[in-house]
Amino acid sequence: MVSEELLLRLNDSEYKNWLKAGRCLLILKSGLHPFTSQHMRCFHKDLLTHSPLLGRPCETNACRGNKLSWACRACSEWKTAILAHQRQPNRTVHWENCSPPSWRTDFWEVAKAYMPGGQGKVKGADQCDASALLNLINSCDCFQTVDPKFVREVIQYRNELMHSCELRIKDEWIRRYQKTLKHFVRQFSHVPQMAKVGQEIDEMLTVDLSLSVSGLDQLDSVDSDGLVCDSEATVDLISQWEAELLQEKLQELLHTDNEDADTRDTEQLKMLGGFLQANRDLGERFSAELQAIDSLQARK
């Protein structure tokens, strides 16, 4: 059984565009995981080989990313090394992402210094979203083989997509997006895990999700239990991507690392809350998040 609301959403071409574009980011992420992980591992090893001072353990075991002005000599050495390998010298470093005593032994703790904020609890590439991995590639000079122009373009598309209040995307946007993704992926032709990514992205952007549900053009005859679908597994899968994307968007909007409520995008939260409420199936799935949105709005 497929919920009527999901069928209506899959019958809305601009919402489908939003869903498909978001799905492409998840595909991209799956290819970038092993690539970024492997590169950071080598980068970390190189740093240790070339600067023996970095091999010394933290002197206090209490150095913290958010209080680096008090760091011991070993952690200060790491801080200098991390800054020396920035691709964008003026970028703000989110030191609070990192646990400095682990820099010596954990390459991902080093990677997190090159990422946007909110990565404190993340332990590896597989737990990162596409945005975090793209920012890492854009910010650390061990990824110099990747042209930053295309990385930034993909980041910009990703932000437009995730910050779209309406969750709807025009066909023209999709065409430009597809072109940019193509340019980006082409740079990884030597990376085995990325070989499939370009193909999967093209397939995703050309597939018509509504065709995978039978009886879509006969919505008038839907019985009260919903439709019987000839490919329930496909619909389940689509519904799973949708939930994953909405989860990412909700997390970003509700993100509480930053206690400053003024920086929160209340307009977007309001629209997203309204959307979840209007779609009963999603409202039930994200009931906890809806409550969080309500209580934030009540505080205003």
* Site for Zn ion, rule CB under 5 A: 58, 63, 72, 75
Of the pair 65, 198, the CB lying nearest Zn ion is at 65
Tokens of residue 91, six digits: 């970028």
Cβ 95 to Zn ion shortest distance, Å: 12
- Residues 58/72, Cβ–Cβ less than 8 Å: yes
The partner residues of 86 in beta bridges, in order of sequence, read: 140
Type of residue found at 155: I
Cβ 68 to Zn ion shortest distance, Å: 9
- Residues 168/17, Cβ–Cβ less than 8 Å: yes
Of the pair 75, 130, the CB lying nearest Zn ion is at 75
The partner residues of 283 in beta bridges, in order of sequence, read: none
Of the pair 72, 146, the CB lying nearest Zn ion is at 72
Cβ 113 to Zn ion shortest distance, Å: 14
Between CA 135 and CA 113 the distance in angstroms is 10
Return the number of other C-beta atoms located less than 10 Å from residue 161's C-beta.
20
Phi, psi of 249 (to 5 degrees): -65, -45
Cβ 57 to Zn ion shortest distance, Å: 8
Of the pair 64, 285, the CB lying nearest Zn ion is at 64
- Give the C-alpha distances (Å, rounded to integers) separating 145 from 21, 82, 186, 249, 283: 26, 19, 12, 30, 44
Cβ 76 to Zn ion shortest distance, Å: 8
Of the pair 68, 292, the CB lying nearest Zn ion is at 68
End-to-end CA distance of the chain: 40
